[in-house]
Structure 1
Amino acid sequence: MSQNFENLCDADRNNNSSITVVEVDKPTNSLNTQSDPKNYSIIIRYNNNDTEDINKLKNNNSKILSIWRKRLILLIVSIAAAITPMTDAILYPALVQICSDFQAPEIFVNILVAIFLFFMGFGQISWAAFSETFETRRRVYLICMPLILISCAICAITPNIWLLMVGRGLQACGTSSLVVIGCGIVADMYELTERGTAYGSFYLIYCFTFLLGPLFGGYFTQYFGWRSIFWYLAIMSGVVYIAILLFVLETFNSNNSNESNESDVEGSETSEVKLSPSRKRFNPFLPFKLLRYPNVTISVLYISIFCTFVDIQLLVASKNFPKKYGVSTSTLGLLFIPSGIGLMVGSFIGGKYSDLVIKLKKSKQNDDGSIQPEVRINSIWIATIIAPAVYILYGWLFEREIHIAVFLVLWSLGNFGVLFIFSIISTYLVDSNRSKSASVSAVFHCTRLFVEASYSIFEAPLEEYLGIKWMFTLFGLTMVLSNLLIIAVFFKGRSWREKMDK
């Protein structure tokens, strides 16, 4: 068949026509060739009116890029994705000062956070749908990076808190694409046994900004004013934009096959007819169709619960550490460093460890069958104990006269546990939805952000009526109970996926 295909391609060149290659599920003799029944066949259709460049098929070889090219692209998209949490975390030390400058009530601290998170969630869903409808990763970057630059300028020169809210909303819409498109590019380039490590490295840099963000925010606010924060973000975004223009290739793989959930969101991926990107209809809510898979819905809800408490802890520290220990805004930024280290280490080790679990399973497998994505979940159990235990202890000690170093250590351990789980479950979601890697990442991050935004609004009344001790106890118990969700996915995930695919 291989030789016949080459002969057909030669004939095609002489006729100045283009060909469409379509994968089908079952062997076929449509080319009048003898094919191995174990292998897939292909259908060749001639279409003289089709003007698409056949070189587009080269986009489907992103996994065979050189290792140095992969590492360069991974580094750039990871730094780009890091702009997202940077724009969020860098403002925490300045929130109280901003409200004071605009003479706004303290509730606006929570409102500013909630607005950013809500727009971030909606933006991620829309950009993921755009990317996979029009089969592009790079173009999304080229649209969003200028939007980020414009929003930074608006926030920097705003005369009132209302325009600041508008600017933060636009900023969230622009930065929302950077994580989900970065996740899609990582999935495009790396195989199953490498993906955990790649995502661990991706989220390592992503989490590094949780360390730098509050530190920079504190110093900028104290020495240059909070408006300087947005000029810094504009410069950072401009440098990344130039790097993307120069070095990031288009990696979208239109023929990605799911390693698990065989059905595509828009229909079966094994369908014989595929629309060209220009003829597809854009539906910004299309990624939500992935929630029809119980394993996706439950996994997304599970990790959203855990990640929410990382942001809640940031809010609690921003408001209470200055009161409890009398620290300045610049010192407050330094206190976020252990938290960032915990996030970084948890992400990197979680990714590495989950790949190790996959490789061990593969080495023990006697047949050549594929590894089920649920195997990766088997690497999270120790972290499911660490995280809730630390949060409960944190709450009970906070109302006592304890040295601040104790809370910083607990904070770091709690974040280590959460990001250990985060890295593994986010990779599992991509493993089980390979052809929709950006969409499943968007659904995951969008749901997480909506939950975080809702909690951030209710955090203030919860803290007032329950106190920090009982509020963190409630959070810890919620984590413990939510572990039942991921246990269900571990045991039933495969059967749920197979049932849905039928």
Structure 2
Amino acid sequence: MAEDVESNPNADLHEFKESEGYVARIDTEHRGNLKTTKSGHTVLIPQPSEDPQDPLNWSIVKKHVILLIISFAAFLPDYGSATGAVTLIPQAAIWNMSPDTVNHSQVGNVFMLGAGGIFVVALSAWAGRLPVLFYFLVLATATAAWCAAATTFESFMAARILNGFFSTVSQGGGLMFIFDMFFFHERARKINIWAAFIILSPYMGPLFAAFIITTKPWPIAFWVYFVETALALILVILFAEETYYDRRISPSNQPPKGSRISRLLGVAQFRSRHLRNSFGQACMRPIRVIMKPTVFLSSLYYLLTFAWVVGINTTLSIFLTPLYNFGPKQIGFFYFTPIVAALLGETVGHWLHDAIARQYIKTHDGHFEPETRLRAIWFSTPFMLAGLIGLGFALENAFHYMVTAVFWGLYVFGIMISTVALNAYNLDSYPEASGEVAAWINFARTAGGFIISYFQVKWANSVGTKVSFGTQAGICAFAFLIIVVLQVFGKTLRIKSGALHFPTT
């Protein structure tokens, strides 16, 4: 590939040096030819080309339309997955099975939400962002319809597993689009928007499904999910765009853009495949990324802290029904709690992450280190621990359901802040691997949920929710030590493990 790339002296694969960090702010007198924001002080990272086709040069409206489409598509996997957390009760009655057994379809779906993301980023590095997004959503739409039309548990479970694999395309690969379109100083807020859709989704699914099944049969909830997935597909067809752009190639030598249909189907990208990763290189990218110590430790932290989000969400209806005599409608109202908490987390995070970055840059002569992003987790961890411990006490001692709701909300608020901080840290650390770091963090999130969903209910019933949720809080506290290690030794680990040296971003 290298011989086909005409060197552009003003461009590099990324503009981050592990030993120096980012030079994010500079005095006017030292600015030279560097492009900055209108203030003249904030350096644009990466430096945009002069080409209007460069995604960094697209209009604000176009960038945000694509961001919202990607975020909506990222909303769907957990929405569909968690819909089954409510429908499992009427399904169990129809199929003469226990709710815990029906929940196995949920577990398979959750696991594939993570595994699918690894395939998404590898294929995107080889075939382009847009065609992978399009084809995966086509298959996600088809399998969503299969979920709704299934008449046996075996058919439903097969549909759920396949739907999990294909629907995760925007969760696993969303950071690629954010990296391609937005500058360094903009990314934390854009990640905050994308992450808010992901965190909200597992609560919106049960909320809508609970109201639906009070008057309608359970398949209607999945037909609604099918319509939403089809809408995402239509939006991608109409408005999404290929965001991959190699700034090392001068504008005059960029490959032909091709027609919109050729970009959507991947024909245009296939013609210029010699300028990107080979298939073998693309397949090795995720493996090389997870071997980086900071990415592995970040993924381990997220597995140990987010697992309980999935575990609680997929089994909460089993706890609430006998404890408070809740029916589907009451469970639906109860799901407003995490939605409000996630929105509060998004609102606070909108200012918090940027404030932390600005303060560090101001006090470090314009330089920025990725580990600074992790400071936000010091703020979020107490909320997570208090929420888990309180939820255990509330469920075992039968506290008023409003108290139970508050504790659940505290945990969700904390995990929202932590999610953005962790994604921003890894994107800043390895900007050329934006898709891969997102895919591994997503895999860690779902792998933890996959494991805990198998024994969450049995564990709580055998030792009590005080002990089970208290243990979960203890694991989160232990996991926080990983964050401390990353803050102290993260830069050293990154320097010693070396750069990724990928052919392309």
TM-score range relative to shorter protein: 0.7 to 0.9
Cα distance in 2 for partners of 1:252, 1:23 equals 17
Which residue in the other structure is 1:280 paired with?
A: 279
**Deviations 1:31-90 (Å, cap 9, x if unpaired)?**
xxxxxxx999xxxxxxxxxxxxxxx99597212221121111111111111111211122
Which residue in the other structure is 1:215 paired with?
A: 207
Letter in 2 for 1:425: L
The Cα of 1:403 is off from its aligned counterpart by: 1.1
2:210 counterpart of 1:225: no
From 351, 367, 373, give the equivalent of 1:376. 373
Which residue in the other structure is 2:326 paired with?
A: 327
Cα distance in 1 for partners of 2:430, 2:73 equals 23
Which residue in the other structure is 2:290 paired with?
A: 291
Which residue in the other structure is 2:259 paired with?
A: none
Q: How many residues align?
A: 441
2:101 counterpart of 1:116: no
Q: How do 1:165-314 and structure 2 match up within 5 A?
A: 165-255=157-247, 275-277=274-276, 279-281=278-280, 284=283, 286-314=285-313
Which residue in the other structure is 2:420 paired with?
A: 423
Distance change (3 Å), C-alpha of 1:207 and 1:436: same
The Cα of 1:325 is off from its aligned counterpart by: 0.9
The Cα of 1:348 is off from its aligned counterpart by: 4.0
Distance change (3 Å), C-alpha of 1:58 and 1:180: farther
Letter in 2 for 1:378: R
Distance change (3 Å), C-alpha of 1:493 and 1:25: farther
Question: Is the Cα contact below 8 Å between 1:121 and 1:449 reproduced in 2?
Answer: yes
The Cα of 1:275 is off from its aligned counterpart by: 4.8
Letter in 2 for 1:288: I
The Cα of 1:195 is off from its aligned counterpart by: 0.9
Which residue in the other structure is 2:77 paired with?
A: 84
2:390 counterpart of 1:398: no
Distance change (3 Å), C-alpha of 1:214 and 1:418: same
Cα distance in 1 for partners of 2:92, 2:283 equals 34
From 475, 480, 502, give the equivalent of 1:478. 475
2:103 counterpart of 1:104: no
Distance change (3 Å), C-alpha of 1:372 and 1:480: same
Give the TM-score normalised by structure 1. Answer: 0.82
The Cα of 1:128 is off from its aligned counterpart by: 0.9
Give the TM-score normalised by structure 2. Answer: 0.82
Cα distance in 2 for partners of 1:290, 1:19 equals 25
Q: How do 1:337-376 and structure 2 match up within 5 A?
A: 337-366=336-365, 368=366, 370-376=367-373
**Deviations 1:268-325 (Å, cap 9, x if unpaired)?**
xxxxxx9534843375564132122111111111122111111222234210111111
Question: Is the Cα contact below 8 Å between 1:308 and 1:448 reproduced in 2?
Answer: yes
Question: Is the Cα contact below 8 Å between 2:121 and 2:439 reproduced in 1?
Answer: yes
Moved more, 307-316 or 158-167: 307-316
Distance change (3 Å), C-alpha of 1:210 and 1:290: same
The Cα of 1:218 is off from its aligned counterpart by: 0.7
Distance change (3 Å), C-alpha of 1:26 and 1:234: closer
2:429 counterpart of 1:432: yes
Letter in 1 for 2:231: V
Cα distance in 1 for partners of 2:479, 2:248 equals 32
Which residue in the other structure is 1:267 paired with?
A: none
Letter in 2 for 1:139: P
Structure 1 portions without partners, runs of 5+: 1-17, 28-37, 41-55, 258-273
The Cα of 1:458 is off from its aligned counterpart by: 2.1
Question: Is the Cα contact below 8 Å between 1:351 and 1:420 reproduced in 2?
Answer: no
Letter in 1 for 2:292: Y
Cα distance in 2 for partners of 1:461, 1:211 equals 23
Cα distance in 1 for partners of 2:11, 2:345 equals 43
Which residue in the other structure is 1:7 paired with?
A: none
2:3 counterpart of 1:21: no
Which residue in the other structure is 2:266 paired with?
A: none
Cα distance in 1 for partners of 2:445, 2:140 equals 22
Which residue in the other structure is 2:253 paired with?
A: none
Question: Is the Cα contact below 8 Å between 2:5 and 2:275 reproduced in 1?
Answer: no
Distance change (3 Å), C-alpha of 1:96 and 1:350: same
Which residue in the other structure is 1:261 paired with?
A: none
Question: Is the Cα contact below 8 Å between 1:59 and 1:251 reproduced in 2?
Answer: no
Question: Is the Cα contact below 8 Å between 2:125 and 2:282 reproduced in 1?
Answer: no
Q: How do 1:149-168 and structure 2 match up within 5 A?
A: 149-168=141-160
Cα distance in 2 for partners of 1:117, 1:232 equals 19
Cα distance in 2 for partners of 1:498, 1:184 equals 23
Letter in 2 for 1:290: V
From 108, 124, 137, give the equivalent of 1:131. 124
Distance change (3 Å), C-alpha of 1:310 and 1:102: same
Query: Rg: which structure is higher?
Result: 1
The Cα of 1:120 is off from its aligned counterpart by: 1.5
Letter in 2 for 1:238: A
Distance change (3 Å), C-alpha of 1:159 and 1:129: same
Which residue in the other structure is 2:254 paired with?
A: none
Moved more, 92-101 or 487-496: 92-101
Distance change (3 Å), C-alpha of 1:251 and 1:57: farther
Letter in 1 for 2:409: S
Identity of aligned residues (%): 21
Distance change (3 Å), C-alpha of 1:330 and 1:435: same
SS in 1 for 2:6: strand
Question: Is the Cα contact below 8 Å between 2:56 and 2:181 reproduced in 1?
Answer: yes
Question: Is the Cα contact below 8 Å between 1:196 and 1:352 reproduced in 2?
Answer: no
Distance change (3 Å), C-alpha of 1:477 and 1:256: farther
Letter in 2 for 1:468: T
Cα distance in 2 for partners of 1:386, 1:120 equals 27
**Deviations 1:193-240 (Å, cap 9, x if unpaired)?**
211111111122333333421111112222121111221112111222
Cα distance in 2 for partners of 1:301, 1:278 equals 28
Distance change (3 Å), C-alpha of 1:402 and 1:209: same
Cα distance in 1 for partners of 2:302, 2:9 equals 36
Question: Is the Cα contact below 8 Å between 1:144 and 1:177 reproduced in 2?
Answer: yes
The Cα of 1:23 is off from its aligned counterpart by: 6.0
Cα distance in 1 for partners of 2:224, 2:328 equals 18
Moved more, 281-290 or 398-407: 281-290
Question: Is the Cα contact below 8 Å between 2:71 and 2:198 reproduced in 1?
Answer: yes
Which residue in the other structure is 2:133 paired with?
A: 141
Letter in 1 for 2:431: R
Question: Is the Cα contact below 8 Å between 2:52 and 2:58 reproduced in 1?
Answer: no
Cα distance in 2 for partners of 1:498, 1:241 equals 41
Which residue in the other structure is 1:458 paired with?
A: 455
**Deviations 1:456-491 (Å, cap 9, x if unpaired)?**
112133123211111001001111111111100011
